[in-house]
Amino acid sequence: MDIQEILKRYWGFDSFRAKQEAIIHSVLEGKDTLAIMPTGGGKSICFQVPALAREGLCLVVSPLIALMKDQVENLRKKGIPALALYSGMNFLEIKKTLQNAAYGNFKFLYVSPERLETALFLEYLPALNINLLAVDEAHCISQWGYDFRPLYLRIANLREFLPNIPVLALTASATNPVQDDICEKMLFNKNQQRFQQSFERPELSYSVFHVPSKQNKLLEILKNVRGTAIVYCKSRKHTQEIAEWLSMNSVKADYYHAGLNYKQRNTKQEDWITNKIRVMVCTNAFGMGIDKADVRTVVHYDIPDCLENYYQEAGRAGRDDKRAYAVLIYSGKETEELLQQTEIRFPDTLEIKRIYTALMNHLQVAAGTGEGVTYDFDMAVFAAAFKINLFTVTYAMKMLDQEGYFFYNEFFFKPSTVVFTTSRDEINEIEKQYPELEPLCKGLLRSYEGIFDYPTIVYESALSKFLKRDAFELKKELIQLHELGIISYSPQKEKSQITLLKNRMYSDSFTINTAAYLKRKQHFETRVMAMVKYLKNKSGCRSKMIAAYFNSVPIKPCGICDNCINEKDLTITTEEFKRIARKIIEHIEESPLSMEQLIFSMKGAGKEKVWEIVEFLQSERRILVDKEGFIKKFC
């Protein structure tokens, strides 16, 4: 099939969106390609369609395990065979997955970056018949981006094993320096092509409000704009408090963050998608990979660290091309606190070394060992055990992650998996020896297609209902089958994890690349300053500000953001100016008025216009403001 037929058959669309077709042709022509496409712009189609148009397998690198699993599941629902390989899988699961990718009829293999350089992966790589290397969240390659992940730098090493295979790097947002860095680090060829979708969102209205009470403003926004909403907060505690407060004020709301277990997250997410609840109050753990087009409002209750995060999260509103609102509210000294974040986020290098040593002791890793080993890890328990501030631990660990010492996966969930590891004849023998296990064996074989070929996700609660067995007893039988060598059973895991990428360093060998560290610090400070400038700027279109930050092609003023609307409101004709000025003089002739009293008496004139004309009359010495703040006629 050609690409139009593929699009119609699997996605049901008659035509591609802007830039998609050009990107696909670039890939099919064998050119290394960088695609910058805003959230909801259809990035996945840009690698999925050309991969289906060619013989072979598309290798997709992604850092987001949850998103990876969602995409694999969505492809399978379309009848497109796909697999995923990520941290936390055991040796047998990895080997089975790679065998299926190499010798089965699969079109996509999603891989987390830490899996790319393992001996087992490299052993199977020549047999995978790869037709395209797609790198999702490609901004992670750049040290100067907002989410640098050192493991991404190693992706380029694959090019040695995949000569003449094109690379497609995709991201929702990247400034020019980050774009250049991506192309350089990925060893793009000279005939490379770059595509950048417009950052224009004509249906999305951006607004910023500095308010005395954020709670009251949030409630006002949600009452004025009907429909589904997302409210982003920085702390987990905040999400619960605000959701409960909204519920008390007759707004159906729930909260979501990475600290909830998998079942809770899944239930809450499903309730929001199906409109059982209207508002999801959440941290930035919510939203990736969620395809809900009718979100009317995205409110940022706390100031984001950078415009990259803000643009991506705000862009989840209005994907149905209907009017939607992205609102940022802040109060007090939040901007000053944001400006102080640079020193907090980049701890002293001696403090980082101290935390590294404590961490290795906590995990009981001996010097010179540990590379490739994964450990369950609870950051709060570690911080309490060593009496270190939790924020300091958080940011020191991020720096150690970026220095390539380990890979920290906070949002880890691995469902239970089962694969049969023996022949059907041996299963029959076991059923004769252990007749109590026969219903489970038959239940697994009947319920899960492919369970002989690769590890299959199994939900014990659903299986126990199907077999009409107690869930606890069922798990005991699964363990028994595992111990008998009939199946490989990997129970569900749900803990944060650390995978060591280097052996534990001896104390005198531990180093931080200080020059790169300080440069990342400088880039963080630049991003913070840009965010503060966006907040404080009360003139000029906000869509144009965002497009300019990302070096997008110039766009026309949106006409619907707070600044555009205010500028329209402040346009005063000569006749209107004379009329308002005359009324001001008339009102204060009777008796002096405070500014509040004057604005109240000038109903319908517009507060901003009254302020502007009062300032003009004062400069012309036609009125004056006394020490008590009362406005009177100039004598």
Residue 48 sits in a domain whose CATH number is 3.40.50.300
Whether 565 is covered by a domain: the verdict is: no
Same domain, 260 and 352: no
And the tokens for 456?
Answer: 């299959």
Same domain? 310 vs 356? no
Same domain for 33 and 156, yes or no, is: yes
Query: At which residue do the structure tokens 């102080």 appear?
Result: 340
Indicate whether 210 and 277 sit together in one domain: yes
Q: Is residue 530 part of a domain?
A: no
DSSP category for residue 289? T
Residue 529 lies in a domain: no
- Where a domain ends, among 172, 196, 220? 196
pLDDT per residue as tens digits for the range 355-376: 999 999 999 999 999 998 888 8
Edge-to-edge strand ranges of the sheet holding 417-420: 456-457, 417-420, 487-490
Q: How confident is the model at residue 413 (pLDDT cuts 50, 70, 90)?
A: low
Please give the radius of gyration of the chain, using alpha carbons only, rounded to the nearest integer.
Answer: 29
Judge if 14 and 136 occupy the same domain. yes
Same domain, 228 and 260: yes
Q: Quick one: average pLDDT of 56-74?
A: 86
Same domain, 303 and 424: no
Q: Which of 158, 176, 196 is the last residue of a domain?
A: 196
Give me the pLDDT at residue 571, please: 66
Write out the residue range of the structural domain in which residue 607 sits: 570-633
Joined tokens for residue 517: 């560290």
Based on the fold, state whether residues 542 and 578 are members of the same structural domain: no
pLDDT of residue 425: 87
Note whether 176 and 233 are same-domain residues: no
pLDDT at 412: 56
Assigned domain for 230 exists:
yes
Across the chain, mean pLDDT equals 88
Task: Give me the number of domains the chain comprises.
Answer: 5
Helix, strand, coil tally for the chain in percent (to 5): 50, 15, 35
Beta bridge partners of 457: 417
Within-domain flag for 113: yes
Instruction: Give the pLDDT score at 453.
Output: 74
Q: What is the pLDDT of residue 411?
A: 59
Task: For residue 288, give the nearest of 304, 269, 305 by alpha carbon.
Answer: 269
CATH assignment at residue 588: 1.10.10
Tell me the pLDDT tens digit for each residue of 529-578. Answer: 999 999 999 888 999 999 889 877 778 899 899 998 887 766 677 888 88
Position 595 in a domain: yes
Q: 162 and 36, same structural domain?
A: yes
Q: Indicate whether 532 belongs to any domain.
A: no
Quick one: pLDDT band at residue 494, thresholds 50, 70, 90? low
Closest CA to 33 of 145, 153, 168, 160: 168
State the Cα–Cα distance between residues 111 and 124, nearest whole angstrom.
13
CATH number of the CATH domain containing 356? 1.10.10.10
Residue 263 has pLDDT above 90, yes or no: no
Residue 454 sits in the same domain as residue 601: no
- Cα angle: 35, vertex 41, 45; to 5 degrees: 70
Comparing CA positions, the residue from 545, 41, 18 lying closest to residue 316 is 41
The answer on 231 and 156 residing in a single domain is no
Identify whether 167 is part of a domain.
yes
Tens digit of pLDDT for each residue in 266-318?
A: 899 899 999 999 999 999 888 766 778 899 999 999 999 899 989 989 999 99
Least confident of 42-46, 207-211, 288-292, 294-298: 288-292
Q: Where do we find the tokens 């029959």?
A: 428
